[in-house]
Amino acid sequence: MDLVNHLSDRLLFAVPKSSDIEFHRYNRLDIALSTNLPIALIFLPAADIPTFVGEGRCSLGITGVDQVEESEVDVELALDLTFGKCKLQVQVPVDGPYKEPKQLIGKTIVSSFTNLTRKYFEKLEGVKSGEPLKTKIKYVGGSVEASCALGVADAIVDLVESGETMRAAGLIDIATVLSTSAYLIESKTPSHPELSQTIKARIEGVLAAQKYILCNYNAPRENLSDLLALTPGRRAATVSPLDDEGWVAISSMIEKGKKGEIMDKLKSKGASDIILFDISNCRV
């Protein structure tokens, strides 16, 4: 099976190792063979990944929604990997005359995402797909932010994460074309469906382990309904009887980001012996 993975440093160390996908990548090589699964990991530019997954023999890949939409390749968005969140935005000089997108009709727009930019201005101009545009759209592969200052463009369409680069280039956003993040994408016809499902389940388990923590506590049975409303679990909480009559033990996965608030509310509603356990890995 072929597995296309465009891995950032964060993903390289967070997802595969925790997912028990072991591999060794030699310096300057773009292919790594897994040492414990019959797969190869191929390191490609993000823009190429949808094509290899959607039209080639690769079963899985990791890239941004923006690259999938730009490529117009038919793939499944299998899992949101919860990082790389940013926006594809229309940007203009902060001290320029343009304050809204309609003012850019007939002007020159520079972008690395020419397909998405064209679709956006087709809607803005009210023309059908493929019909001539008044707006001129030019492709630049890098340093898109410099296009306005260097006189190549009246505006640009580019990705914005923190906005630091945009502000440093003297630009301001006036519209959002697309919100994006990193996704695990899947071929509609994977070469080895069972192995693809196994890898997806492993990565999904790692993501769940990063989001949730296990909460165990004891509680009076008479308060059970109120307490379960606070800790319903991903699917359902586990409730076990205790030797102490009228009391039960409850185990439930709760969101890490809300753990302090949940513990306080459990205590106020009669729960005791509240303990949290980190989850290193799981299957959900």
Specify the pLDDT at position 28. Answer: 65
Task: Report whether pLDDT(98) > 60.
Answer: yes
Kindly state whether residues 158 and 38 are assigned to the same domain: no
Answer yes or no: is 260 within a domain.
Answer: yes
pLDDT tens-place string over residues 188-236: 999 889 999 999 998 899 899 999 999 999 999 999 999 999 999 988 9
Answer yes or no: is 200 within a domain.
Answer: no
Number of separate domains in the chain: 3
Kindly state whether residues 18 and 104 are assigned to the same domain: no
Kindly state whether residues 24 and 78 are assigned to the same domain: yes
Kindly state whether residues 10 and 78 are assigned to the same domain: yes
Answer yes or no: is 197 within a domain.
Answer: no
Kindly state whether residues 69 and 41 are assigned to the same domain: yes
Q: How far is CA 224 from CA 101, 235, 276, in A?
A: 55, 17, 19
Answer yes or no: is 63 within a domain.
Answer: yes
- Domain of residue 233: give its range: 212-277
pLDDT tens-place string over residues 108-163: 999 999 999 999 999 999 998 888 999 999 999 888 999 999 999 999 999 999 99
pLDDT-derived band of residue 3, with 50, 70 and 90 as boundaries?
very low
Q: Where is the domain boundary, 157, 180, 203?
A: 180
Dist. CA 261–CA 270, nearest whole Å: 15
Kindly state whether residues 73 and 187 are assigned to the same domain: yes
CATH assignment of the domain containing 39: 3.40.190.10
Answer yes or no: is 174 within a domain.
Answer: yes
Task: Report whether pLDDT(5) > 50.
Answer: no
Kindly state whether residues 77 and 97 are assigned to the same domain: no
Kindly state whether residues 264 and 147 are assigned to the same domain: no
Strand partners, 88: 159, 178
The answer to whether 40 and 21 are in contact (CB under 8 A) is no
pLDDT tens-place string over residues 63-74: 999 999 999 999
pLDDT tens-place string over residues 164-178: 999 999 999 999 999
pLDDT tens-place string over residues 239-269: 999 998 899 999 999 999 999 999 999 999 9
Q: Of 13-17, 57-61, 187-191, 221-225, which gets the smallest average pLDDT?
A: 13-17
Q: Where is the domain boundary, 180, 201, 225?
A: 180
